[in-house]
Structure 1
């Protein structure tokens, strides 16, 4: 017997709402039943634009509806904490835009409120749900990845076409002990007037916005927080528009972060181990006209190209070929994961699957807090003193 669809209500009608509403509506087992704005006119315009049945004036009114099981909070970051707590009190599950809040203390309180209310909470960091990211996890957690994970879509690199392909399609490689992570996220496009990212009191600035991705990748790769950070910022009209930072971790590993509102589009990372590096040029969202590729560079100079299994098929010669229309949709995967969590009987679960995502969100915000403190103090910040 099929389970009932998870019915989402949407808080907010801004620019960021448009893409995710379409993803909510196209995820199996999910529907959007209502959307709310501060004014009835804006709510009706958004509902009509997206084909949503109910237009609601006021966020409290949406939380009171019986046809809403979960909410997608698409408001400015300064309002995430307030409306997540309100949603939890109303018994609604929460998908919250990133950055989750303005401080790590707020994020901890939001997650605690969800736990008390026995509702699910997830931040809308979609790249964490892409199958390519699952490959990264596997490569970072094993010395030699299993063949079905490591090379389901591995291709012979163009630099080595004169070499004979191995009889075994598996490519044994080892990242080795982690040494350094670099993450850079930026774009040069100006914002429309009134965009919350231009207002410090609404959670604006590049560190909270694009820095969420870069800091998140660094935390993801290292699996924890650095001992010390040092950050500098270029300020303009009261907000940070470009941030650079260095970090040192307890095991002598390091990291660098770069993000900017005035720099060419970048969304890349390198995870460098002793024996090999994982390189990706679009980790936040795959380029629309390219497969979700990544590369492993071995210390010997050999390079391996990878594409996730869903984006390839094996032809009669055994070579991986891109197959249009099968690529992973990370936002839909994220939404489907939350919907699955909502259907879980927690009494039957010894380990809650959302804990790793909660830890990632809290520690990403803790890292951003420390970077902001370093910018303000113009000095390195020791995280041990802040935890």
Structure 2
């Protein structure tokens, strides 16, 4: 598309970093299969193990506990399973507990039957109802299996950050296992798996400036893992079959290094986000910005304009040169009501716009946003006068 544009949709996919692109191009020259034992194969294996260390460092985990997948959805589908292995023995998870505001890859329950999935509500800011979680886990029948809890660290629509340490304390007291979807959190807030609050993390490369099509499961230990979703040649220690995507993994590693080094830049990103929200309130005083009563990611603003459908506004922004989302981009071409807002008590008729930015977002991007929003606000005012 011709003309100057502002990309304000980092939570959907961050732009590919130059260092990630360079790493991918270099990896394309490594022709061998990483499972081959000859010198060329060992070179490919060394590259993968280097990246494994880089991804582990991003969340302060052990490299040997990182399992590469094709993305966060595959990682979730692998982990959300009733059937687990501990050594040569099996472990049964009899029920999955998720948050009503979770990403669909958690809400859908993975390999659990729908009847074995319990959804925990959230408050008006999108924070999980800890009392309801504690009560639900307190009634869990361990004779049938262990409770498995999965929840997002930071919401992909609102940016609201969950109190994972408190959630973890409740889960551990109930003898459960905790999976944390850290896709939106890593690279934006400090994430430390060694702190003991989570048993497993889900990561995605393209949310931090790496390529699409690669993600990871990061485990606190390797004592227990779900039975594989994809069986094959025994790659990734038997946890995920199939020849590893060397070029994508290389790009993931470069992005992980940049994400870890760039954490201090989040203060500047927060200032830019606050500037955008100030513009929203200035041009549309009755706009509602969601999640402001809870800790949020520094890069995310989620707001609704009364009398303007989110999908209509999204199209208007796009025509004005601004790329943003009407809620989540988790489904192809998705626009419409937000399940997150519905869970927060706003009903199922309200749509909202998500602005999500990064360290590369500049003053010119903000100015394009201001101009586009001013046009939308002016057209709304014209309609109101004509009504």
Superposition TM-score, scaled by structure 2 size: 0.28
Q: Which gives a bigger RCO, structure 1 or 2 (Cα 8 Å, sep 6+)?
A: 2
Identify the structure with the greater strand proportion.
Answer: 1
Superposition TM-score, scaled by structure 1 size: 0.28
